[in-house]
Amino acid sequence: MPRASEIPSRPKVSTVDVVVVGSLNIDMTARVSRHPLPGETVQSTTALTTSAGGKGANQAVAAARLGARTALVGRVGADAHGDSLLEALRADGVDTARIGRDDEVATGTALISVAATGENSIIVSAAANARLSPDDIAGAGPLIAAARVVSLVLEVPVETVTAAARTAHAAGARLVLNLSPVTDLPAEVLALADPLIVNEHEAREILQRKGFPVPRDAVEHAVALLGVGARSVVVTFGESGAVVAESGRAEHIPGVPAEAVDTTGAGDAFAATMAWRLSQGDALAAAARWATRVGARSVQHPGAQPSYPTLDHVLSGSA
């Protein structure tokens, strides 16, 4: 197999549908009958599997498979895991020209356990992802300026996310902010989010951190989050679908029935689909309807990136 350095990057284009700024990880996954309690050891029910992951890379691959012209800004180690992640991205047509290599730290790693219910538990070692800096964003300025939508995740430093948000705003790109994991961000970044995307647990944590009362009604979660300053909000509720909110109004988007095998990366598939459809001019609710379909399709298969469908799969309704 050729080394990553020997595989050509996707040719540059004048306009990019989606630029993702975020993390790249090697996912190491063990399936268990149930997640262990503190201090408890449980036996894996299958052999350990290794696959490409990281919220940034997941979003880039998910968008590219749906047909978006996609680029990723990130950082990996100068190691075999970094090589394999770059090879996987390029195989899906993702522009990797702005993914840096770091000689001093390893590629990021995620340790994942997946229970029989399909629910996961994840521990992330940031490694090279923690080295993604505002200087990297400055170097990627022309790429970000060519983007219709810039999607940000929080497995990289806050100052880097802030720099990316400012750069995207200055270039006139729409900013999609997947505030996962929940991190305290400058108010100016939240004010640029259009939309802010979180799941129901993250929504609750954000509201509590900001001192807002947490509503009981699912729809009101999204409306309440408009109070933190985002231009629009999408809150996901798993199989129950999502709620979109903008201009003080909210709409529930029904979920798509699916038998969950593994929920790893489903949120990334949802956010990537939102970014893709928004880059094509869809309204927020229409984009969310697409995203629920893709997210439901992804949970029916193991792994993150291995579970992401092509556009043909989505249109045909095939599992």
The catalytic residue positions are: 268
| Three-state DSSP state, 72 | strand
Binding residues for ATP: 199, 236-241, 267-268
Binding residues for substrate: 25-27, 54-58, 155, 268
Binding residues for K(+): 262, 264, 298, 301, 303, 307
Query: What is the rounded radius of gyration, in angstroms, for the C-alpha atoms of the chain?
Result: 18
Closest CA to 186 of 204, 202, 163: 163
| Three-state DSSP state, 42 | coil
Binding residues: 25-27, 54-58, 155, 199, 236-241, 262, 264, 267-268, 298, 301, 303, 307
Cβ 269 vs Cβ 277: under 8 Å: no
- The tokens for 147 are 């983007």
Amino acid at residue number 102: D
Q: Helix and strand tally (H, E) in the chain?
A: 11, 13
Note the residue count of the chain.
Answer: 319
| Three-state DSSP state, 176 | strand
The gap from C-alpha 151 to its chain's centroid, in whole angstroms, comes to 8
